[in-house]
Structure 1
Amino acid sequence: MTEIRHIVFDIGKVLLHYDPSLPFSRLIPDAAERQWFFDNVCTSDWNVEQDRGRTWEEAEGLLLVQHPSHAENIRNFRRHWHEMIPHAYDDSVALMEALIDGGRDVTMLTNFASDTFREAQERFTFLKRPRGVTVSGDIKLIKPDRAIYDHHVKSFGLQPAATLFIDDSQKNVDGAKDAGWQAVLFTDAATLRSDLAERGIEA
């Protein structure tokens, strides 16, 4: 196994908590009605296109035509987005910052809409500490597409075999491996610390 020289973090559910149901538990109190809304209106497939670079204006416009009776809650998705990211995972953040402070080369690769990522950076300033970040919404590519991993490698001068990727999604981990990276599935900071130690990385 090639020695790790570059460490790449995902952000959502690795460094930041993300849960769209948080504001909607208040906005749509009935659980069955709320689930229907997420299954049929503001779906995961709809939301991921903002990660791919579609504007919120366009995204909302599409749904307003299809579901005019849900106009207010369609707009509420972006309007209350900040409530979906209530806090960071302090133990994961501490681990990432320890790697940076220890001289490790740390970057981030995330599926994130451009505008909401900049909002998150201002709220959670540790997101400015790594050497850089590839934001899917900026380049209109998303994980696990091979192209986004190759783009990150080229942008930051990484050697794929010497790069360790950390993500909470198995398909994104598999995508990194298919691109020639090493990768681990994130479950919690303690497990990640062990995964790093197995590869000779102390933090």
Structure 2
Amino acid sequence: MIKNIVFDMGNVVLSYDPNYIIQHFTKDKDQQRLLVEAIFKSPEWLALDEGTLSKEDACAIMKARVDLQLKPLVKKVMDEWYLYLTPFKNIIELSKRLKEEGYTLYLLSNTSLSFYEYYENVEAFAYFKDFYISAKHLLMKPEPAIFKDFCKKMNLNPVECFFIDDSQDNINSAKSIGMQGICFNGNYDNAQMIYDAIKKCS
């Protein structure tokens, strides 16, 4: 019986699109391209999610990678990028509905410690019991170890958990330890598909 609903964050609860985010910092197309490459597609960005590099060190390395005129923008993006994570309204509604029906909601996300700077402003998270952040626990999806550690830390039985992620690899890994799940394919106008899948497993 499914008792716990576990959400990924990027492109499940919130829209994460570096190309959209960077438009808020410069209108110059070349600068946008360079900043996306230097920040969001960098090994340092991944290391932030892994919890193996501090924000300050990552920013210093990224700034060293760009021209002088872009250095202040790198700092600004690193400080403010999360302001442009767009919430999916239907996921807010779904979260509220699931909690009202007695399910316990959790977040399991590959993300940096910057999460703690903005999560209280995310409306959907008002319905969540707890949050498991990769950078805090030094584990990353899709490794099965992160799902095992999540269940251990939250004191959950994997067979009672339903996982929602935009990556099929992550869903497959969750299933390998006994969780159920669905790959949410971006049809954000119809979160009903998630609800139906949960009910089918409950």
Amino acid in the other structure paired with 2:22: F
Matched residues, number:
195
Structure 1: gaps spanning 5 or more residues: none
Cα distance change, pair 46–58 in 1 and its aligned pair in 2 (3 A)? same
- Residue of structure 1 equivalent to 2:137: 139
Amino acid in the other structure paired with 1:80: E
- Residue of structure 1 equivalent to 2:97: 98
Cα distance change, pair 34–125 in 1 and its aligned pair in 2 (3 A)? closer
Question: SS of the counterpart of 1:81?
Answer: helix
Check the 8 A contact 2:8/2:109 in 1, yes or no.
yes
CA distance in 1, matches of 2:39, 2:168: 23
CA distance in 1, matches of 2:120, 2:15: 16
Cα distance change, pair 128–55 in 1 and its aligned pair in 2 (3 A)? farther
Q: What is the Cα deviation at residue 68 of structure 1?
A: 4.9
| Cα displacement string for residues 38-59 of structure 1 (whole angstroms, at most 9, x for unaligned residues) | 23x1133432221222221010
Q: What's the TM-score once normalised by structure 1's chain length?
A: 0.84
Q: What is the Cα deviation at residue 165 of structure 1?
A: 0.5
Identity value in percent: 24
Amino acid in the other structure paired with 1:71: K
Q: What is the Cα deviation at residue 136 of structure 1?
A: 1.2
Amino acid in the other structure paired with 1:110: S
Indicate yes or no: 2:49 matched with 1:43. no
Q: What's the TM-score once normalised by structure 2's chain length?
A: 0.84
| Cα displacement string for residues 101-131 of structure 1 (whole angstroms, at most 9, x for unaligned residues) | 11112221112222x3123222124414322
Check the 8 A contact 2:13/2:124 in 1, yes or no.
no
CA distance in 2, matches of 1:101, 1:190: 16
Amino acid in the other structure paired with 2:201: R
**Selected match of 1:123 from 121, 124, 130:** 121
Check the 8 A contact 2:18/2:36 in 1, yes or no.
no
Q: What is the Cα deviation at residue 194 of structure 1?
A: 2.6
Amino acid in the other structure paired with 1:136: S
Amino acid in the other structure paired with 2:105: V
Moved more, 120-129 or 164-173: 120-129
Q: What is the Cα deviation at residue 191 of structure 1?
A: 2.0
Structure 2: gaps spanning 5 or more residues: none
- Residue of structure 1 equivalent to 2:201: 199
CA distance in 2, matches of 1:12, 1:21: 14
The CA RMSD measured in Å over matched residues stands at 2.1
